[in-house]
Structure 1
Amino acid sequence: MAERVAVLFLALALLAGCGGPVAGTARPVRLSDDGRAKFKEYYARVNKAGEEGASQQSKLLKDTQHPDFRQKTCDLRGATIKVEPTWGTLRMDADWAPPGEKAHPRGDVYVVAVTITLRKEDQAIGSQIGSMHVVLLDDEVYGFAPCLGG
C-alpha cells in the first residue's frame, strides 16, 4: 500500500508540472511538413517505448533529453507515460526556459498541448491536460524530462 501511495504521489508531482501557464502569444507555426513529422515521430517513439516497458522508455527519455539539460532526468519509479499531443496547438515559445533555469535552451523551442497519462503495471495512475516543450536543434527533436515541468 505504501508503494502505491508513493507512486500516486509521484504521478501527481509529475503531472502537476505539465499544467502551468505558458508564456508568449499563440501564433500559427510555420513548420515544413518534414519538421512537423519530426515532432510527431518523437512522440510516437516516446509512446512506443512506453508500451515496451519502463526501462525502454526511461532510456529513450534520457537519450532524447535536450543536450543542455542531460543531467536533469528523473526516475519514474517503474511507471511509463503516454503523451497525446493536440497538434493544432503547436507553436513556438521563444521565451521559455525550464523551471529553475535562467538559460533558454539552444534551438527552436516549441510547445504543444498534451494529454499525459502516467501508467504503472498497465494501469492508469493519473492523467492531466497540460503543455510540453520540445526543441528542434540541428534537425533533431529533443524533449525535457517530465519532472522538469515540460
Structure 2
Amino acid sequence: MADRIALLLVSLVLLAGCSGPVAGTARPATLSDADKVRFKEFYERLNKAGDEGATQQSKLLRETQHPDFRQKVCDLRGATIKVEPTWSTLRVDADWAPPGDKAHPRGDVYVVAVTITLRQGDAVIGSQIGSLHVVLLDDEVYGFAPCLGG
C-alpha cells in the first residue's frame, strides 16, 4: 500500500511539474469571452469527471489530450485529480514544448497556475501548487496527460 501511495504522489508531482519555469514576462492573456468560457469549461469537465470516478476521468483525459501527443497518456492507478486554476495567472506561453519534446504543440499555448489535489476514492492523497499548459486549437481546449514526460 505504501508503494502505491508513493507512486500516486509521484504522479501528482509530475502533474504539477509538467511545465517547469516559464520564460518571459507574465502578462494576463487577452482572450475573448467565448475562449475564457472554453478554458473554464475544460477544467469543470475534468473535475466533474473526477467526481464521477477514476474511469470517467481517465476517459476524459484521453479524449482531451492534445492531438499531437495522444500516444503519451498515463495511468493514475485508480486515483483522480481535482484542478483549481487561478484564472488571473492565465497567460500565453508561445515557446513551450512538453518535457522531452522539441516540437511546440499546434495551436495557442497557455499556462495557468493551479492547485492540484490527488484523491484515492474519498481520501486526499496529496495537494500541490504548480502550473499546467493548455492549448486552444480549432476552438477546442486540449491538455496534456498528468505524467507527460514522466
Q: Please tell me the TM-score bracket, short chain as reference.
A: over 0.9
Distance in 2 (CA, whole Å) between partners of 1:120 and 1:44 is: 19
Q: Mapping of 1:24-63 within 5 angstroms?
A: 24-63=24-63
Q: Does 1:22 align with 2:22?
A: yes
> Hey, what's the Cα distance between the residues in 2 that align with 1:72 and 1:88?
29
Q: Distance in 1 between matches of 2:23 and 2:75?
A: 27
2:111 counterpart residue number:
111
Asked whether the equivalents of residues 85 and 114 of structure 2 are also in contact (C-alpha less than 8 Å), the reply is yes
Partner of 1:7: 4
* Alpha-carbon displacement from aligned partner over 1:39-93 (angstroms, at most 9, x marks no partner): 0000000000000000000000000000000000000000000000000000000
Query: Aligned partner of 1:125: which letter?
Result: I
Q: Which runs of 5+ in 1 are unaligned?
A: none
Separation of aligned partners in 2, 1:24 and 1:60: 31
TM-score by length of 2: 0.93
What is the number of residues matched between the two proteins?
A: 146
**What does 1:86-101 correspond to in 2, within 5 Å?**
86-101=86-101
How many angstroms apart in 2 are the aligned matches of 1:79 and 1:141?
23
Aligned position for 1:141 = 141
Q: Which moved more, 1:98-107 or 1:7-16?
A: 7-16
Secondary structure of 2:25's aligned partner: coil
Please give the alpha-carbon distance, in whole angstroms, between the structure 1 residues aligned to 2:66 and 2:95: 16
Deviations 1:1-22 (A, max 9, x none): xxx3233222322222314322
* Coordinate RMSD, CA, aligned: 1.1
State the TM-score, normalizing by the size of structure 1.
0.93
The separation in 1 between residues aligned to 2:4 and 2:48, in whole angstroms, is: 22
C-alpha deviation, 1:24, in angstroms: 2.7
Equivalent pairs: percent with the same residue?
A: 76
Separation in structure 2 between the aligned mates of residue 28 and residue 48 of structure 1, nearest angstrom: 26
Contact 1:24-1:95 at 8 Å conserved across structures: no
In the alignment, structure 2 segments of 5+ residues that lack a partner are none
